[in-house]
C-alpha cells in the first residue's frame, strides 16, 4: 500500500544529512491495512541535536517552499528542532541546499505529502507548533478537497500537538480564509466533539490572535518569500492561531 511517503532522498554534504532519507522514513508497511498505527515513527529522532537534549521542542512547517521562514526561525530558535515538509521536489532540494549552506543542525526537510505524513507517521502529542503559511488556495470548487484545512487534517493536527501546542495559519487568499474560518469555527465550538474523526472533548481548539515569530522583520507576519512578494503586490493578509487546550 502506497501513500506517497518515504520519497525523501539523502543530501549528504557536511554537516550531515539535511533531507530525510529512505532509511529514516521507509515505505509504509503492509500491516497498515489492519493496524493504522503500524507506520508510526518519531521524527524527532532524525535530529542530531536531540542526542544532547531529548526534551527539545519540535515544530513542523507544512509547505516550506524555498525555506526562508524555516531558515530564519531555526536560526532565531537554536534550541528548537524544525521539520520542513514540501511537496514540490524542486523547492525541497532548494531548501535543503540552503539549510546545508547555513549549517543549521536543527533543521531537516522532507519531500512528501504533509497531510498524509501527519496521519500515518506522527505519534500522538509530540509536536509543539504546526506552521501553515500561504498554502495553495485551490480556487476551483472541484479542487477544494485538495485544500490543506479539512476536518480530517484538523483532527490529526490536534492529535499530534502537545497540550498547549499551536496551529499557526496565515493566508492572503480571502476565499480560502472564509473556508478556513468555517472549519475553525466548528473546531473551536461547543459541538466539536460531534465532528468526524475527533473523539475528544469540546472545544478541540481555542482561537487566538496571531503574533509574529522572532525571525519576522518589521511589519511582517512570518517573513516568508510569499509574504514579501504579496506585500509588494499590496495584498491583505489573514492570520490566526488555534491552540490545543492544556
Residues 6+ apart with CB under 8 A from 80: 56, 57, 58, 59, 74, 106, 128
The answer to whether residue 89 sits within a structural domain is: yes
Q: Which three cell numbers stand for residue 190?
A: 461547543
Report helix angle 174-187 to 151-160, nearest 10.
60
The answer to whether residue 25 sits within a structural domain is: no
β-bridge pairing 238-243 and 206-208: antiparallel
- Enter the pTM of the model: 0.92
- Rounded distance between C-alpha atoms, residue 144 and residue 148, angstroms: 9
For 41, the domain range is 30-243
Of the residues 12, 124, 136, 185, only one is catalytic, namely 136
Q: CA of 26: how far to CAs of 16, 21, 82, 234, in Å?
A: 19, 8, 20, 44
The answer to whether residue 1 sits within a structural domain is: no
Q: What is the pLDDT of residue 51?
A: 87
Q: What is the pLDDT of residue 159?
A: 97
The answer to whether residue 63 sits within a structural domain is: yes
Per the annotation, the verdict on 136 as an active-site residue is: yes
Each residue's pLDDT, cut to its tens digit, for the chain (246 residues) gives: 333 344 444 444 333 489 998 889 999 999 999 999 999 999 999 999 998 899 999 999 999 999 999 999 999 999 999 999 999 999 999 999 999 999 999 999 999 999 999 999 999 999 999 999 999 999 999 999 999 999 999 999 999 999 999 999 999 999 999 999 999 999 999 999 999 889 899 999 999 999 999 989 999 999 898 999 999 999 999 999 999 999
Q: How many domains does the chain have?
A: 1
The answer to whether residue 218 sits within a structural domain is: yes
The answer to whether residue 102 sits within a structural domain is: yes
Q: What is the CATH number of the domain that holds 142?
A: 3.40.50.150
Q: What is the pLDDT of residue 111?
A: 95
The answer to whether residue 176 sits within a structural domain is: yes
Q: What is the pLDDT of residue 12?
A: 40
Q: Which three cell numbers stand for residue 150?
A: 479539512
The answer to whether residue 184 sits within a structural domain is: yes
Q: CA of 139: how far to CAs of 147, 173, 177, 184, in Å?
A: 9, 9, 11, 19
Q: Which three cell numbers stand for residue 28?
A: 509504509
Q: What is the pLDDT of residue 197?
A: 83
- Rounded distance between C-alpha atoms, residue 13 and residue 167, angstroms: 32
Amino acid at each position: 500500500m502506497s501513500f506517497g511517503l518515504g520519497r525523501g532522498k539523502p543530501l549528504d554534504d557536511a554537516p550531515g544529512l539535511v533531507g530525510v532519507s529512505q532509511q529514516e522514513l521507509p515505505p509504509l508497511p503492509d500491516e497498515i491495512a489492519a493496524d493504522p498505527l503500524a507506520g508510526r515513527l518519531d521524527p524527532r529522532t532524525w535530529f542530531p541535536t536531540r542526542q544532547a537534549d531529548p526534551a527539545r521542542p519540535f515544530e513542523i512547517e507544512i509547505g516550506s517552499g524555498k525555506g526562508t521562514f524555516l531558515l530564519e526561525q531555526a536560526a532565531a530558535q537554536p534550541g528548537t528542532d524544525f521539520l520542513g515538509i514540501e511537496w514540490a521536489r524542486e523547492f525541497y532540494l532548494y531548501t535543503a541546499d540552503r539549510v546545508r549552506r547555513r549549517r543549521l543542525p536543527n533543521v531537516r526537510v522532507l519531500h512528501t505529502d504533509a497531510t498524509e505524513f501527519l496521519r500515518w507517521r506522527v505519534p500522538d502529542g509530540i509536536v509543539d507548533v504546526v506552521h501553515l503559511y500561504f498554502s495553495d488556495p485551490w480556487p476551483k470548487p472541484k479542487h477544494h478537497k485538495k485544500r490543506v484545512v479539512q476536518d480530517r487534517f484538523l483532527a490529526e493536527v490536534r492529535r499530534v500537538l502537545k497540550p498547549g501546542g499551536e496551529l499557526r495559519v496565515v493566508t492572503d487568499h480571502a476565499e480560502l480564509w472564509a473556508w478556513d474560518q468555517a472549519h475553525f469555527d466548528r473546531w473551536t465550538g461547543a459541538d466539536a466533539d460531534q465532528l468526524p474523526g475527533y473523539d475528544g472533548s469540546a472545544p478541540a481548539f481555542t482561537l487566538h490572535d496571531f503574533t509574529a515569530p522572532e525571525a519576522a522583520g518589521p511589519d511582517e507576519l512570518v517573513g516568508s518569500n510569499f509574504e514579501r512578494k504579496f506585500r509588494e503586490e499590496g495584498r491583505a493578509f489573514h492570520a490566526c492561531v488555534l491552540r490545543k487546550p492544556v
